A and B are shown apart, each in its own frame.
Chain A
């Protein structure tokens, strides 16, 4: 069934179709409609779940942790300050190997208060052990929530499905809402192997001494490594069932491209248009859209970028004293490419706090990259008026 819905409700439908059993959430703009819609779904019986209306995001994640430890499918959603408040428990959920799924709406961090799009909130959580998927359309959002549960439950690691504030969260698009029966076949009820079970009592999360902690982390690392191929397989399987595939990374018009624009989230849609128009003008340019940020698809990125002349990374985020975060990741993974065919990486900072990244901004980025042999600095800020 096709419906015209906003990105936030695409998340809600994703969670409903995934038959989340315990939902705990706390309101924050621009996430609120996700849980409002889920409350409706729970109230009118479309979804048989326990909805815990907690007093903070910290407790929302704690409730999900408790529920997941019993073996229930747990879901929450947040944004920005709420995500930051959860930080401790994001580590906890991953370390406890709990397959919780959460939607995060990318919103800028305060101060100054700003409710608009900016990736610094979720990218600040990159070392917590959560998988991260950045989505471009409402359909992708709904599909990714369903896929995320499947991936998480295989890996025993939590997943974050990420969408841009307003550009996606509040934008209405036609979305195909699949039949429950088909989703059920794709994503069967979850049966955890290790749970809080009175018939088989165990202790979870006890003190681990230096002789065992490192092994636990190594196990998480291994799961993350498997995560890349697993996400690809599950996306393929999803494609066979639902007729749609999203990939973990998308090369766009990379044939013969000498300069590659790296994009993510809704910026990728604009980048596609810009690449098309530049190609018409005879420019050798393409786009690499990266959907999966954790685990970072390092091999694919290196493979697709080797032999290019320049790469322009557009970062809607910033790590102070460091630079754009995607640019840092890309630089680090292409370090293993032979120096003679390793492209020069230009890091551009753009669109912070919801500032529009229009086609002319991207064209400026392209021509600046084309016109210089080396970046003038590690991070080039676009459009800052001082």
Chain B
């Protein structure tokens, strides 16, 4: 995407003010900025405990120019359901309700409320910004932390021993109308997905890879590049799933070696070449599975 095209595509309106409290290089702040540009001012945001509780700013300030309700850690989807119900009964049909949560608040403690909302097909957009650990409380593992990664609860002597939970499969299995993965390194793709979500009714879910320099142990200025590498190496492929069955890749993924991505991050420093080969194999397998699903949905016979 060339510079000019992005300028044309991205609305000038800002809904995230400067002076917010994200660390330098934080993907989550950029992600919110893009998401709100795509959704516009008629949006109510619900945020559970996570880094964004801090980024938004302390009382009596807020860095967002849309209404924001800070809520308890595991309740993003349920509170958003209540907000939507109240808007409906009061006849406000054209306001988008956005639940915005971290990977911990989504994959772990919040999954019950999320699954409940998805089963009821609540008319909400749920965006999970995934930085692959509990960053707000100081980098502990979550079920979104990749295999082999260091966190403060998975020290290098015993790094994360299970692979990342596949939240997209879980959400697709709920047969919600729309699920998509996205990454902050591809803002136009992300915003297109958010805009598309806005046009659909029912539960819409976006799983967004969001770099975190302190948590990934990388340089601030490398975070976007790393996120691009995660996508290109197919560790974090970008795709959409409609109604739980129509899979579509969002772009060409070159299939660059995962090693380049892994080796640039302190959280993977302890991994041996053999470990990385194993990760590469797993990524290849997952990619094949995804391609099969994409192919099946292209060709339903």
Chain A interface (Cβ < 8 Å from any Cβ of B):
21-22, 24, 48-50, 52-56, 58-59, 62-72, 74, 88-89, 92, 196-198, 201-209, 212
The answer to whether A63 touches B67, judged by C-beta atoms less than 8 angstroms apart, is no
The answer to whether A66 touches B68, judged by C-beta atoms less than 8 angstroms apart, is no
Chain B residues contacting A21 (CB-CB under 8 Å) are 86, 89-90
Q: Verify if B53 is at the interface (C-beta below 8 Å from A).
A: yes
The answer to whether B82 touches A24, judged by C-beta atoms less than 8 angstroms apart, is yes
21 A–B contacts, CB within 8 A, in A order:
A21-B86, A21-B90, A52-B81, A58-B75, A59-B116, A63-B78, A63-B79, A63-B85, A67-B83, A68-B86, A69-B83, A196-B44, A198-B43, A198-B95, A201-B62, A201-B68, A204-B67, A204-B69, A205-B70, A208-B59, A209-B58
Q: Report the Cα distance A63→B66, complex, angstroms.
A: 20
Q: Report the Cα distance A205→B52, complex, angstroms.
A: 13
Q: Report the Cα distance A63→B97, complex, angstroms.
A: 13
CB contact list, B33-89 vs A, under 8 A:
41-44, 46, 53-54, 56-62, 64-72, 74-75, 77-89
Q: Verify if B120 is at the interface (C-beta below 8 Å from A).
A: yes
Chain A residues contacting B61 (CB-CB under 8 Å) are 203, 206
Given contact pairs A49-B89, A50-B86, A52-B120, A59 touches B75 in the complex (Cβ within 8 A): yes
Closest 10 CB pairs of A and B: A66-B82, A55-B116, A62-B78, A203-B62, A63-B82, A72-B86, A70-B86, A205-B70, A59-B78, A66-B79
Q: Report the Cα distance A203→B113, complex, angstroms.
A: 22
Among A56, A65, A202, the residue within 8 A (CB) of B112 is A56
Chain B residues contacting A89 (CB-CB under 8 Å) are 72, 75
- Say whether chain B's binding surface is mostly helix, strand, loop, or mixed: mixed
Most-contacted residue by chain A among B60, B75, B86, B113 (CB, 10 A): B86
The answer to whether A59 touches B113, judged by C-beta atoms less than 8 angstroms apart, is yes
The answer to whether B58 touches A62, judged by C-beta atoms less than 8 angstroms apart, is no
A53 closest partner in B (C-beta): B120
Q: Report the Cα distance A48→B89, complex, angstroms.
A: 8
The answer to whether B75 touches A72, judged by C-beta atoms less than 8 angstroms apart, is no
The answer to whether B70 touches A204, judged by C-beta atoms less than 8 angstroms apart, is yes
Q: Report the Cα distance A71→B60, complex, angstroms.
A: 21
The answer to whether A54 touches B116, judged by C-beta atoms less than 8 angstroms apart, is yes
Q: Verify if B119 is at the interface (C-beta below 8 Å from A).
A: yes
Q: Report the Cα distance A65→B81, complex, angstroms.
A: 10
Q: Verify if B243 is at the interface (C-beta below 8 Å from A).
A: no
Q: Verify if B115 is at the interface (C-beta below 8 Å from A).
A: yes
Among B59, B72, B90, B113, the residue within 8 A (CB) of A88 is B72
Chain B residues contacting A202 (CB-CB under 8 Å) are 62, 67-68
The answer to whether B69 touches A196, judged by C-beta atoms less than 8 angstroms apart, is yes
Give the shortest distance, in Å, between A216 (CB) and chain B (any CB).
Answer: 9
The answer to whether B88 touches A50, judged by C-beta atoms less than 8 angstroms apart, is yes
Given contact pairs A22-B86, A55-B112, A198 touches B66 in the complex (Cβ within 8 A): yes
Give the shortest distance, in Å, between B35 (CB) and chain A (any CB).
Answer: 16
The answer to whether B70 touches A22, judged by C-beta atoms less than 8 angstroms apart, is no
The answer to whether B88 touches A66, judged by C-beta atoms less than 8 angstroms apart, is no
Give the shortest distance, in Å, between B83 (CB) and chain A (any CB).
Answer: 4
Give the shortest distance, in Å, between B201 (CB) and chain A (any CB).
Answer: 16
Given contact pairs A21-B89, A58-B78, A66 touches B46 in the complex (Cβ within 8 A): yes
The answer to whether B59 touches A212, judged by C-beta atoms less than 8 angstroms apart, is yes
The answer to whether A52 touches B82, judged by C-beta atoms less than 8 angstroms apart, is yes
Give the shortest distance, in Å, between A33 (CB) and chain B (any CB).
Answer: 22
Among B59, B62, B86, B119, the residue within 8 A (CB) of A66 is B86
Chain B residues contacting A205 (CB-CB under 8 Å) are 69-71
Chain B residues contacting A64 (CB-CB under 8 Å) are 82
Q: Report the Cα distance A49→B88, complex, angstroms.
A: 10
Give the shortest distance, in Å, between A125 (CB) and chain B (any CB).
Answer: 16
Chain B residues contacting A59 (CB-CB under 8 Å) are 75, 77-78, 81, 112-113, 116
Chain B residues contacting A58 (CB-CB under 8 Å) are 74-75, 78, 112-113
The answer to whether A55 touches B115, judged by C-beta atoms less than 8 angstroms apart, is yes
B15 closest partner in A (C-beta): A201
Q: Report the Cα distance A276→B89, complex, angstroms.
A: 51
The answer to whether B70 touches A203, judged by C-beta atoms less than 8 angstroms apart, is yes
Chain A residues contacting B85 (CB-CB under 8 Å) are 22, 24, 50, 52, 63, 66-67, 72
Q: Report the Cα distance A71→B95, complex, angstroms.
A: 15
Chain B residues contacting A201 (CB-CB under 8 Å) are 62, 64-68
Chain B residues contacting A66 (CB-CB under 8 Å) are 46, 69, 71, 78-86
The answer to whether B82 touches A65, judged by C-beta atoms less than 8 angstroms apart, is yes
Q: Report the Cα distance A204→B57, complex, angstroms.
A: 11
B115 closest partner in A (C-beta): A55
Chain B 94-123, CB-CB to A under 8 Å as 1, else 0, gives 010000000000000000110110011000
Q: Report the Cα distance A197→B65, complex, angstroms.
A: 11
Most-contacted residue by chain B among A50, A58, A59, A197 (CB, 10 A): A59
Chain B residues contacting A24 (CB-CB under 8 Å) are 81-82, 85
